[in-house]
């Protein structure tokens, strides 16, 4: 069965950094684009970042709200995807979902909570 398991969330102060991870299994990870999607408490879904596959040069894309502060990366040998979050702001507080698929997010993890507060 497909599994996406996020980890590394927690409480951090504004301007601090945090790296969250996602372990994938049950599908051919190296063939899948990987995404991060977040959801602030009581709000809708917000796409955060996408990383493509090796044949597509691991191209990355970011929402304007995180560009220059967040970095998505992947390790195909470990079936892992990461989101390095720097200079965190209170408005980054959200549940962060790891998702995977071809041209669209097909599989979703259960999410990891990131809280940015002083």
DSSP 8-state assignment for residue 29? G
Residues in contact with another protein, shown as a per-residue x/- string from 32 to 51 under the rule CB under 8 A: ---x-x------xxxx--x-
98: exposed, middle or buried (Cβ count in 10 Å: 0-12, 13-18, 19+) = buried
Residue 102: HSE in the Cβ half-sphere, 13 Å Cα cutoff? 0
Q: How far is the CB of 61 from another protein (least distance, A)?
A: 4
Q: In this chain, which of 8, 86, 108, 115 binds another protein, going by CB under 8 A?
A: 108
Rule CB under 8 A: is residue 63 a binding residue for another protein?
yes
Report how far residue 27's alpha carbon sits from residue 3's, in angstroms, rounded to the nearest whole number. 8
The residues binding another protein (CB under 8 A) are 35, 37, 44-47, 50, 61, 63-64, 97, 103-106, 108-111
């Amino acid at each position: 069965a497909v599994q996406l398991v996020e980890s590394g969330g927690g409480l951090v102060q504004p301007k601090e950094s945090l790296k969250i991870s996602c372990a994938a299994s049950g599908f051919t990870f190296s063939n899948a684009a990987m995404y991060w999607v977040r959801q602030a408490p009581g709000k809708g879904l917000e796409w955060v970042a996408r990383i493509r596959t090796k044949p597509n040069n691991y191209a990355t894309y970011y929402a304007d709200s995180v560009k220059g502060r967040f970095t998505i990366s992947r390790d195909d040998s470990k079936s892992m995807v990461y989101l390095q979050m720097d200079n965190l702001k209170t408005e980054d507080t959200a549940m962060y979902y790891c998702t995977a698929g071809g041209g669209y997010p097909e599989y979703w993890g259960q999410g990891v909570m990131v809280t940015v507060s002083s």
